[in-house]
Amino acid sequence: MLEELLKKVELEEIRNAGNLVPHAKLFGTELVVTTEPAALELACVVNKIRDVIVCGHSDCKAMNLLHAVRTPEEMMKTPSSPLRQWVSRHGATSLTHWEKFEASGFKAPLTFNLGSKTVVTHIDPDNKFEATDKLSQINALTQLQNVASYPFMQPLIKTGEMRLHALWFDIYTGEIYYFSQKKGAFAIVNEETSTDIMDEISAMYVHSEKAVAA
């Protein structure tokens, strides 16, 4: 189903370590030397792409590092490597969400502002995944929140002209999860769920033949 859908759209792909999108509040500081906001503006404003898809996956090495740097032992290390600095700086909000989630025994819902709405979210309600994979799912939604923080995105999101999606992949089972804003959770994509997921996605569309994968 997903493969057939992707054949019908134009994709512009933005990739980096941890799939991190710096928040708009940082624009004008270190963002002058990063490409993510510029690529987002190019895709969504100049090329008029109307779907942003943030993707995450299990056993993400960048998220594993972000999870590790929260420990006292790791915090004492000088963040000298580019990767450590990158994930520590731009993954901080994801880690804050994760720590709140951990403190609740991995049960409390989390809230994400996706521009046009605030979505109450339940991460891994069946407790299937490792702590670092829970962080990876949280990170995908945090990056959607960051995408929605840019002034050039906000009018498009609020009018429904721009749609935000998140996908999460289990690299060991091959299973794909779509973040259902309706359910407030990542829903596995299979024969039993595909109709409901496609109905939810279809309801979001007005006119669009393009998508951007972040």
The closest alpha carbon to 49, from 213, 212, 187, 214, belongs to 212
Do 157 and 116 contact (CB within 8 A), yes or no?
A: yes
Enclosing H/E stretch for 166? strand 163-169
207 annotated as a binding-site residue: no
Measured distance between the N- and C-terminal CA atoms of the chain, rounded to whole angstroms? 20
State the sign of the Cα–Cα–Cα–Cα dihedral 194, 199, 203, 205. positive
**Rounded distance between C-alpha atoms, residue 113 and residue 117, angstroms:** 6
Kind of pairing, strands 176-180 and 185-188? antiparallel
Those residues whose C-beta lies under 8 Å from the C-beta of residue 80, and which sit 6 or more positions away, are none
Is 57 labelled a binding residue?
yes
Q: Please state the residue numbers annotated as binding site for Zn(2+).
A: 57, 60
Annotated binding site: 57, 60
